[in-house]
Structure 1
């Protein structure tokens, strides 16, 4: 009797090869569309080191590929927030970690900064839905511990903090600030906004 392992190994290998192709295509789409939002499938295929036929074998259309990229980006941002210690670190440190996760996300997915203009679809788990809730909960915790000023609503402060980070990102894109300058200003401004102690 043939070993069943002999019959499953090729299938596993095909699945692993397919997964590698999909990961390469998504990574190429992240890079290419981040630089040129109107880039086509051929450009993405060339960057991924595969043929257009291979791309279409995994993604039926450019829209399908972009949708998959957006879902992947959303999941990655959620994982960054999960790893940031938002519920356990001291509030000011947790706030810095929250913003740092946002900067890492924007650095890897610059396309999302102009999502509306580029016609990027909303993911099923949209960061605009889950990230403000995480930040609001963090600010509330800081208000309860006395690290942040409780005189303003936490949901307002969370919305304003996102506005500050978007403004800082726009300043980087326009060449008015370096990434390091913008990130430092954004953190100090957000701490002051929340009534926390400035870091300098």
Structure 2
């Protein structure tokens, strides 16, 4: 196969995956249609089937790619060298920035929760590497914070990670309800900045050691 043909095939595959990602994010797995995905990608439905035998297989590949993107955005080797308070702030910032830069994560996250993760492939490294991230990045930052006296001891890193992830992502997954009930536009930069600072302050206060009496 010539280099030109390989490049053309790779570009076609990328268009299909991008169109599928957007369709799954907007409509969910159940309502996304392969013929609509093919049309958006500028290819035939038969060509989509050439690359992917079923919609389930296509969804699994898209989900793996999105998961890899999110994991790469969250991790940072500098976490180990940052002051613990700064590391928590950067982690929250990275969660929020992932949703800002990749809005399709919102729909994919909600849809996969509705399906109980059934489309996450067995070969996917998402869950193993997420567990590794919590164990090797989040747990040490909490332990260092405790040793330095800025965090209270005994914080479960798994519960802490999912608490801040759920809180940080709420302005995106619950944007309409939050905006309507609060009068704050969480679709705008000011609303997101306000939420970012709130989550950071809330999280750090929650894990701070208790004040000494007197």
For Structure 1 versus Structure 2, the TM-score category normalised by the shorter chain is 0.7 to 0.9
Q: Shift of the alpha carbon at 1:118?
A: 4.7
Residues 131 and 29 of structure 1: CA distance in aligned 2, closer, same or farther (over 3 Å): farther
Q: Shift of the alpha carbon at 1:195?
A: 1.7
Count residues with an aligned counterpart: 187
TM-score between the two structures when normalised by the length of structure 2: 0.72
Q: Distance in 2 between matches of 1:102 and 1:60?
A: 33
Q: Does the alignment pair 1:140 with 2:143?
A: yes
1:35 equivalent in structure 2: 26
Contact 2:35-2:45 at 8 Å conserved across structures: yes
Q: Shift of the alpha carbon at 1:137?
A: 2.9
Flag structure 2 segments of 5+ consecutive residues without an equivalent: 210-214
RMSD between aligned residues: 2.7
2:75 equivalent in structure 1: 82
Q: Distance in 2 between matches of 1:22 and 1:83?
A: 30
**Which one of the candidate residues 64, 86, 90 is aligned to 1:93?**
86
Larger displacement relative to structure 2 (144-153 or 37-46):
144-153
Q: Shift of the alpha carbon at 1:21?
A: 1.7
Larger displacement relative to structure 2 (165-174 or 101-110):
165-174
Q: Distance in 2 between matches of 1:76 and 1:149?
A: 32
Higher RCO (C-alpha 8 Å, min separation 6): 2
Q: Shift of the alpha carbon at 1:24?
A: 1.7
